[in-house]
Amino acid sequence: MKLLQSIGFIIKYLLIGLGIAALFIVFLPEKFSKQQNSSEQTENQPQLTQKASIEAPSGLKASYADMLAETTPSVVSIKVRSKVFSLDSGACAELEARPPDTNACAVLSDGSGVIIDGQGHIVTNAHVLDKAATVIVELKNGAQLKANIVGGDIESDIALLKVDAETPQFLPLPENDQSRVGDLVFAIGTPSLGFHQTVTQGIISAKFFTRVAHYIQTDAALRPGNSGGALVNANGELIGITSLSTLSNQGEKLYQSYAVSANNVRHIVEQIKKHGQVHRGWLGLSGDMTINLNSISYELGLTAEQRQELQNRIYQLPFGKGVVVTAVAAQGPAEQAGLKPLDIITEVNNKPIYNAVDLTSAIWNLEPGAEVTVNYMRDGTEHSQTITLGQRGQASQ
């Protein structure tokens, strides 16, 4: 009898439990379906190994050693020695430590260079060869070669050397610049701190034009001695010739890492091979941005009426567009073509002009004698004039 009571008690609570479970299934079906699907996916999905979990995302490389092994032999170290100067000369006065027990000195300097073809041509920075009498190039394998200076360009800080040897490993200068801000880059050179050749990595931080060339700014670390070295992309292609500049900030030197765009270097090298230097075209005028109305008025001494007239002309243009001619060189190309102060240049060879840098950039790679088409506004009317460039001297455009 007691046994039957115990069995009935168990069956009673078992039925209550099943009833509660049925209620959950009826009112919360999605919860149970998700758990079931999750279980099925776990059973069907292959287990990840530890190796798979740490694989690099598609497109990224764990190492660039193979690329650099092919690239770095094209970058050389450069040792420069000047002629002997009298100890009381200005050249010796620049030395931080003068040689003892002598009445003469020689200036020593070093840098880096890039072999650009198989005929022994090497590009470096012009300042590396300052006062050079003897130039020795050291290859990565330790071989040393005497180099001759073909020529140089102080404005772009680019120079060309030639060694009397075949150079099968080289980095050719490209015709075009395909680099972009954010691209991964590597700087290769020999810092003048007793190091052998080094490689640093970074990205392109900015790109800009100034003076006579396009520049690439990078956060890849450069040190004194890296000047004239290579800036290459992730494929090992040459995109720039590195140059380290310094600024003084409260007595401290602040180093800034730049590279002259390699396609600009190609143009400069072609000029040096042809002339021994670079011949640059010249418009023969100076100008200021249209938005700098106050400085233009002050520079030209405009009356209130003249200022208002100029302002009215500027208002006819899109905001910020155009350079106001503030001076024209006597007998220069611009004057001979009929341009005058207060003309507003808006385009050169169909390139919009917004500032003086744009004006220089539009003709930076053109030689004297080349013709350019200049569009400008005068008295509210648009004009177009062909100008034959002269020889660039000390003028800015």
The residue type found at 263 is N
Closest to 77 measured CA to CA, from 122, 126, 120? 122
Distance, in Å, from the CA atom of 306 to the CA atom of 302, rounded to the nearest integer, reads: 6
**Other CB atoms within 10 Å distance of the CB of residue 308:** 12
The residue type found at 166 is E
Helix (H, G, I), strand (E, B) or coil at 62: coil
Closest to 346 measured CA to CA, from 380, 304, 305, 306? 380
Closest to 127 measured CA to CA, from 146, 108, 152, 107? 152
291: Cβ–Cβ under 8 A, 6 or more apart, which residues?
319, 320
HSE on the CB side for 326, CA within 13 Å? 22
Q: Catalytic annotation on 179?
A: no
Structure token pair of residue 252: 């401290």
The residue type found at 394 is Q
332: Cβ–Cβ under 8 A, 6 or more apart, which residues?
282, 283, 284, 285, 390, 395
216, 179 contact by CB (below 8 A): yes
Q: Catalytic annotation on 82?
A: no
The residue type found at 282 is W
Helix (H, G, I), strand (E, B) or coil at 204: strand
Distance, in Å, from the CA atom of 268 to the CA atom of 124, rounded to the nearest integer, reads: 12
77, 227, 257, 361: the catalytic one is: 227
Structure token pair of residue 316: 């006819």
77, 112, 153, 157: the catalytic one is: 157
210: Cβ–Cβ under 8 A, 6 or more apart, which residues?
357
Helix (H, G, I), strand (E, B) or coil at 233: strand
82, 117, 127, 396: the catalytic one is: 127
Rounded to 10 degrees, the C-alpha dihedral 77/182/218/226 comes to -10
Q: Catalytic annotation on 227?
A: yes
Structure token pair of residue 373: 């088409």
How do the residues of the chain divide into helix, strand and coil, expressed in percent and rounded to 5?
25, 35, 40
Residues labelled as active-site residues: 127, 157, 227
